[in-house]
Structure 1
Amino acid sequence: MKKFSLFCLISSSALFVFQESVKAQAQVTSTSQVSNVEIPHVNELATVVTTSTPLLAQVLKVTGVKIDSTTTGIELVLETSTGILPEPITTTENNTLIIDIPNTVLTLSDGNEFRRENPAPGIKLVSITQNDANNIRVSITGETSVPTAQIISSDNGLILSVIPSENQPDIELTVTGNPNTATVNKTDTPLQDLPFSVQVFPQQLIQDQRALNVGEAVRNISGFALSGRGGGRNESSLVTRGFTADQFRDGFSEGNNANRVFTEVSNLERIEVLKGPTATLYGQSEPGGIVNLVTKRPLAKPYYQAEYIGGSFGFNRGNLDFTGPLDSNRNAKYRLNLAYENTDSFREGVETERFFIAPKLTFNLSSQTTLSVFGEYLEDSRPVDFGLVAVGNSVADIPISRFLGDPTRKNDVYQRRAYIFLDHNFSDNWSISSAFRTTSSDQDFSAIFGRGNALQFNNQVLPLQAQNNDLSFNTNTWQTNLVGKFNTGSIKHTALIGFEWGNERRTTVVENANAGSINIFRPVYRFSVGRFNTIRNQDEETNLFGIYLQNEIAVTDNLKLLLGGRFDTVDFDLQDNLNNIKSSTYSDAFSPRIGIVYQPSKPISLYANFSRSFVSQSGSSFDGTPFQPERGTQYEIGVKADWFSGRLSSTLAFYQITKTNVLVTDPNRPTFFIQTGEQRSRGVELDLVGEILPGWNVITSYAYTDAIITNDTIFPEGNRLANVPRNALSFWTTYTIPQGDLQGLGFGTGVFFADARSGDLNNSFTLPSYRRVDASIYYNYRNFRAALNIKNLFDTRYFESAQSRTAIFPGAPLTILGTISLQF
């Protein structure tokens, strides 16, 4: 805690000095003379004007408003006589585009409010009001959906080129600054109004850091770490707040039966993270939180991108992204994403190949109804790699490139998916969305890896086993959500009613054989594989059903409540074909969520919440008592704040999570389990993200996590949970030159730090602390982009995570990736 207190003191001091320096700059700037010039029309501007207004500038006056008709909509001009208006903050609500302009007041000759009804076909209303003492709000309401707008700053005003929904049905605004909404709450509620910690990681940051998987992206968010990687075959288990954070795709679970490979990040629009138990909306899930992966969707505006990435260890990858309308009215749209990757690795003998294709179609069946049909096909081939081993209480002193198995044996996965989305607006305030996803995959697994959990012969020899797996997976999930907004007197409600049905089937055949051993210091890659014996042949089926309700209540403009609850049932059937035994398990759970938000001022939100999670457990204790679901319970308080007119956003959270009903070994019958285990995590998290100055972006986080065992029959109480650092820090910043001869040239750098971590629940060995530094340089010129990303700049030896004493995963050494991209 002393380290955290010192961090807060240093951060607060630095923030105060920064604010004072910006104020001083603003005072100097405000004294400069500005000549009066006529505001040009959009079609008269050769390029978009980039402002360089200080963040804390003087309050400017809007002295006039003009609306001109255009061939596609309207042109709205806000006139000033005192300087460039600050950069606006853009949001949407129902069919209204809302543009808030900070440090600005209305001083119109005919009053302090502007209103124009039906200025053009498709646009119902344009209004401009004084939102508070130093901010004005521009509201543009479409007849059937949200209009789109191009926002351009000029020396003496602001120009908005507005296109109604009939001409451009998609909301395709390019907005700088911080994302202020997320789909992870299944409503369009602003993040400031949500009583829990939510972070959004956009595609631009994925590109800037050249993140190749989800784990590389979420390390920017406080409290995240990696856990066991299942032999490097698929996405690492993500850990936050000491516990697993389950992955979802567009609201669908990415559990083991649904996704068997690394997620294709080139198909993602953004990554949303909701911290803490989330069973109220997402059903059974671990208490750490969820990572919701939002897929790219078809756009009405034509866009084409071709990208090549090449670099260290024979890395080669190509991406294609095409989208646009299929008809002149833009009622039908398509998108096609393709990717191919072929690469070696810093791990000896490891070669990977994957192919991905995702065709998508969206149809506007009417002005209120949209149907989307998406498909995905993915092939992935790579060795099963369990990394290094522990000797004593630390990782063996051997090269991180050493492969302790047979890299020529591969894990091949063929995965197919289809989605159907149907969205309908009954009115401005009521809408329904229904989605169905089906997934099928086949996995052919062949590997040689460590047998048992200990070395032999003076900690030099690792016993080996050979394994062949033949697996198939099928999942079908249907979700429907009804969202309505209504008032009871002066109290506003946003109600959500939904249900989810799911069916998961899994067939597993596993064969094992003795494969001799390997000396970890002097390996000889000749394996004596014995006779294979089938150790598992089983069919599993799970049926899930959940119904949930949530009500977001705005008691006043600055006091909001959230009440929610979900009831789930889980039926699990197991057919053991080896022993001809069939067993069934039924479990149910109710998961509540309660939250409150109080906003003493518009940029500040104080919040608190209570929430629960559950994960069903199969089987029973020695006396035949069925296991109850594992439960997680969280208490959290925090504060969210926007700084510098919304350019910078921060979230500070304090929490405690207790996980109960954990299965532990029965002390009287070691071959059975009992549900007396308990684990607890408490900590502090700070996230800061935004654009400090035009072109200068930053995302940084810090987490203090105290995660321990509080009750167990095998491991001592007080043992730390595996792979959870007590202190973790991330910092990433980029700067792009906004104008001049070097316009488009940018630089990025970042550091990622993690404390020493326990490698297992027994705390028998430790993963050392590390500091990893990354850097990048890039250049954007019209439709061309070139970038160079340097990962682990100082070639630090570090370890990302551990699964056991014989499965420790090293981080990659110095890696250089070059990118060339063309966009049209």
Structure 2
Amino acid sequence: MGNLLKGAGQLAILLSLLVSAFVQAEQAMQFNIPAQNLSSALLQFSEESGVKIFFKSEITQQKTSKALVGRYTPTQALAQLLENTGIKYRYTDTQSLTLFVDNNALISSYTPELLALEPAMRVYGKVIDIHKPSDWNASHITGDIWNGYHVFSTSTATRTETPLMELAQSVQVITRALLEDQQNVTVTESLRNASGVVPRTPGITPNFEPTLIRGFSAMQMIDGFYQNLNTGDQDSLVNIQQIDVIKGSNATLYSGGGGAPSGGVINLLSKLPEQVASYEFGLKGGNYAFVQPYVDVNQPINDTFLFRFTGEYSNSNSQIGVLETERYNLNPALLFTNNKTTSLIIQGKYSTWKQQDYQGLPATGTVAGDFRINPTLYIGPSNIADSVSEFAAVWATFNHDFNDNWAITAKARYAHSEHDTLTQGIMGEGFGFGADKPLSTEDLAILGYPESAHTWGLINDELYQASDEMSFQLFATTQFDFGQTRNTVVIGGDFSQYDESAYLAFDSPPIGLVDLTQPAFLPYQYPGTRENMQFTTNSTYGGYLQWQGSVYECLHLLAGFRAGTVGSDYKNTTTGFEFSSNARSTRILPSIGAVLDVGDEYAFFVNYSEGMRAQSGVNFVSTPEPELSNQLEFGLKFDIAEQLTGQLAFFQINKKNIAVTDFSDSQLRAMTAGQQRSRGIDSNMSWQASDGLRLLATYAYTDVRFTDNLIVAQGNHVPGVPQHAGRLWMNYAFQNSLLDGFNLGGGVYAQSSVYLENENAFKTPAFYSVDAAMAYTRENYRVGVSIKNLTDANEYQRLNYFGTRVTPAQGIQVFFSGSVRF
């Protein structure tokens, strides 16, 4: 299959070059556009040429155009109007194009991917913006609303600004408009807007990244850098402009840390400095004593030196009695630019998370068994010290345009991650840490205890990890036309290295027993010497080449490959578990695809891609092979009447070389032999039904199975993945003068039952959550109220603690918010 698809891509490139020779040139036409403000000039250009233009209003503010009189092709005319503005354009079909700000000019608020129509504007028709009060709109020419829940293009998937309708893969963007309409508080709840994504469960200590896409592990990134361990305040939205979700194996451009995950990439795009000063101070509050003050200060020093700072503090209790969570998030950014060809962005981040480690509850006594455990029980002594998770990083991005066709980008980051997790855990049947069942009669006899019902063993444990990262990225981009073909080529390379030191200590045998129906816990004591005994160095490096081409503006092709190496040096000096390995693997990883437009509103797409990820942190029988994955997907994209947009995708992901226990080994070490498969359907749709009404709908069917019988029965479901999940959200911005400024929204998230563990012996029930939000916005202030889980649905959900456990839903949550902006 891989060779066949590679051949098809090469053939398509050849055909694109052959057919270009038969293409007729654009027809010249008469223009008569006087010198005026740029927005008005673009409006007149659109009316005279019939070309639709999409852009965000901020990029044309305070800009003027020269007079344009004479016969020009539309392309020549537009080039004249945009000369010396720092604004670029790209045709998306023969009669429409999108405007975006040059990366390096940065004359507006955001980088191109953030300016790409959020909400997008069309340069003809009524002058409104539903995010601004009516008195603001009276003095700003912005054009018709496109769709605040749909961006027109993104650069995350290909490193080049590409319309979503031309992307030969599944990419979903969660816009800032959607986050504000829903009044979201966390990244976790925001990710429920993306089909096929299973986000982390709130409350769990941020010492790993449990998010799944299409049933497999996902990589979370900030501005294109991999978040190893994803420590600190994972959930803050204060510095997030939008969230890009790339689905499936994609190692060509994203292979940081230990390599590319099989599920996909979640890229959190940061807010950046703007040229116009702005300030926002806000406060959120809610039940469970939730309080969250935040600040967003954007202060340009001069035209070429810009500064921005966002910060947030959060504190809250929980339905789990003793839990109190405290979070900090600080994000400074500096931007230097000559407003023409060159820019340098320096960003920093420091975040912390503190809370007693929450391990959830076992399956028996909650979703199974003939007895019941108090749903709000905290397992462990109430005075156990907080677990702490921290993240600190500084990174820089340098952009330079050599000319209109060639540009270069260089990025570098240093980051430090650290967490210390303290737990008085439980041990269940067979002395397993998952502990879904209480100790058996045989287990108790081994420990010297008499038979006892609903009893688990108690162990003190501590997990500490610290990681230092250095990452470098360098790539060049060129764009050129050849006849009727548009071509973009990206060539680059990257290197990242993570040095990690850690220790895991726990009591063995258990220090005592606990009856979870009538619990009495022991004082916590550190179980080990608190010295690092596990050392890992993960390194990833490689080069890549990617070509995008459009033929006759109806066939859009993608062909890329990466020559990549992943390596992992691992050493365990723990007494009785001594082990060391040095694994390296180099592979050619392809990514190819095509999009075929069917008229102006529909397009079929297909792609094939591969991923590779290093094994680490486990004692292996022999030098481990990397985990490998590949994905084949196809589907339909649609953009109907510039209002209804979305896609439907069918996919299959195969994964092999998964680390599993080798039960024939006396030390029960791991081997790389496991196999899994995910297949299904996911879809997303956004609809701008009217000036004030917009909707979002998503659905995913995901079937993930073990395809070997090494540790569980072949055909068992991989735990934690609902077969059915969907989201529906609707928001209305009132248009009449009496209610001008009011927004009212509501929606529901629902998912089917989920298996807890590999044996598929236990399941959490299906659940749903109904949410609502209302806000009132004027030019300088905004107030809002939101209700989560309006119907107080109180089902258990999977926690993913030692690969299992459950947690109760939080019940009704009410949040109030207010902010002043000037």
TM bracket, shorter-chain basis = 0.7 to 0.9
Aligned to 2:269: 294
Of residues 476, 479, 488, the one that matches 2:473 is 479
SS of equivalent to 1:390: coil
How far residue 207 of structure 1 moved from its aligned partner, in angstroms, is: 2.5
Of residues 333, 345, 351, the one that matches 2:306 is 333
Aligned to 1:280: 252
Of residues 655, 659, 673, the one that matches 2:655 is 659
Structure-2 change in CA distance of 1:406 and 1:716 (3 Å):
same
Of residues 238, 241, 244, the one that matches 2:217 is 244
Counterparts of 1:59-78 in structure 2, within 5 Å, are 66-69=33-36, 75-76=40-41, 78=43
Structure-2 change in CA distance of 1:130 and 1:198 (3 Å):
closer
How far residue 346 of structure 1 moved from its aligned partner, in angstroms, is: 1.3
Amino acid at match of 1:784: Y
Which deviations, in whole Å up to 9, do the C-alpha atoms of 1:401-431 show, x marking residues without a partner? Answer: 2211234321123322101110011111211
Structure-2 change in CA distance of 1:128 and 1:618 (3 Å):
closer
Of residues 708, 713, 720, the one that matches 1:711 is 708
Correspondence 1:821 to 2:797: no
Of residues 370, 378, 387, the one that matches 1:411 is 387
CA distance in 1, matches of 2:387, 2:586: 35
Amino acid at match of 1:297: L
Amino acid at match of 2:188: G
How far residue 353 of structure 1 moved from its aligned partner, in angstroms, is: 1.2
How far residue 433 of structure 1 moved from its aligned partner, in angstroms, is: 0.8
Structure-2 change in CA distance of 1:632 and 1:125 (3 Å):
closer
Q: With a CA cutoff of 8 Å and minimum separation of 6, indicate the structure with the bigger relative contact order.
A: 2
Aligned to 1:520: 516
CA distance in 1, matches of 2:250, 2:181: 30
Aligned to 1:455: 438
> When the two structures are superposed, what TM-score results if normalisation uses the length of structure 2?
0.80
**Taking every aligned residue pair, what percent have the same amino acid on both sides?**
25
Structure-2 change in CA distance of 1:197 and 1:650 (3 Å):
same
Structure-2 change in CA distance of 1:175 and 1:498 (3 Å):
farther
Unpaired runs of 5+ in structure 1? Answer: 1-62, 98-107, 161-171
Aligned to 1:697: 694
Amino acid at match of 2:788: K
Of residues 728, 736, 752, the one that matches 2:733 is 736
Counterparts of 1:344-743 in structure 2, within 5 Å, are 344-365=317-338, 367-391=340-364, 394-395=367-368, 397-408=372-383, 409-451=385-427, 452=433, 453=435, 454-456=437-439, 460-513=454-507, 514-527=510-523, 529=525, 532=528, 537-578=533-574, 582-618=580-616, 625-643=622-640, 645-669=641-665, 671-743=668-740
CA distance in 2, matches of 1:755, 1:129: 42
Structure-2 change in CA distance of 1:491 and 1:753 (3 Å):
same
How far residue 784 of structure 1 moved from its aligned partner, in angstroms, is: 1.2
CA distance in 2, matches of 1:530, 1:126: 60
Determine if contact 1:214/1:235 at 8 Å carries over to the other structure: no
Greater CA deviation, 391-400 or 490-499? 391-400
CA distance in 2, matches of 1:344, 1:141: 43
SS of equivalent to 1:208: helix
SS of equivalent to 2:34: strand
Determine if contact 2:42/2:123 at 8 Å carries over to the other structure: no
SS of equivalent to 1:192: helix
Greater CA deviation, 775-784 or 581-590? 581-590
How far residue 537 of structure 1 moved from its aligned partner, in angstroms, is: 1.5
Of residues 795, 800, 803, the one that matches 1:798 is 795
Determine if contact 2:457/2:513 at 8 Å carries over to the other structure: yes
Structure-2 change in CA distance of 1:276 and 1:392 (3 Å):
same
CA distance in 2, matches of 1:127, 1:254: 33
Aligned to 1:233: 206
How far residue 674 of structure 1 moved from its aligned partner, in angstroms, is: 3.4
Correspondence 1:780 to 2:777: yes
Structure-2 change in CA distance of 1:337 and 1:110 (3 Å):
closer
Greater CA deviation, 206-215 or 500-509? 206-215
Aligned to 1:768: 765
CA distance in 2, matches of 1:145, 1:377: 28
CA distance in 2, matches of 1:575, 1:154: 61
CA distance in 2, matches of 1:159, 1:816: 32
Of residues 54, 58, 76, the one that matches 1:90 is 54
Q: Over aligned residue pairs, what C-alpha RMSD do you find?
A: 3.9
More strand by share: 1
Amino acid at match of 1:465: I
SS of equivalent to 1:271: strand
Amino acid at match of 2:470: N
Amino acid at match of 1:340: Y
Aligned to 1:56: none
Greater CA deviation, 667-676 or 811-820? 667-676
Unpaired runs of 5+ in structure 2? Answer: 1-29, 62-68, 109-114, 130-141, 428-432, 440-450
CA distance in 1, matches of 2:90, 2:470: 48
Which deviations, in whole Å up to 9, do the C-alpha atoms of 1:133-170 show, x marking residues without a partner? Answer: xx67798999995887999999987799xxxxxxxxxx
How far residue 127 of structure 1 moved from its aligned partner, in angstroms, is: 12
Structure-2 change in CA distance of 1:469 and 1:742 (3 Å):
same
Aligned to 2:754: 757
How many residues are aligned here? 728
Determine if contact 2:53/2:99 at 8 Å carries over to the other structure: no
SS of equivalent to 1:279: coil
Determine if contact 2:54/2:120 at 8 Å carries over to the other structure: no
CA distance in 1, matches of 2:349, 2:84: 36
Structure-2 change in CA distance of 1:118 and 1:725 (3 Å):
closer
Which deviations, in whole Å up to 9, do the C-alpha atoms of 1:753-773 show, x marking residues without a partner? Answer: 111111111101001001211
Of residues 179, 182, 185, the one that matches 1:209 is 182
Correspondence 1:267 to 2:234: no
Greater CA deviation, 775-784 or 303-312? 775-784
How far residue 348 of structure 1 moved from its aligned partner, in angstroms, is: 1.2
> When the two structures are superposed, what TM-score results if normalisation uses the length of structure 1?
0.80
Aligned to 1:122: 84
CA distance in 1, matches of 2:557, 2:470: 34
Determine if contact 2:741/2:778 at 8 Å carries over to the other structure: yes
Determine if contact 2:561/2:590 at 8 Å carries over to the other structure: yes
SS of equivalent to 1:728: strand
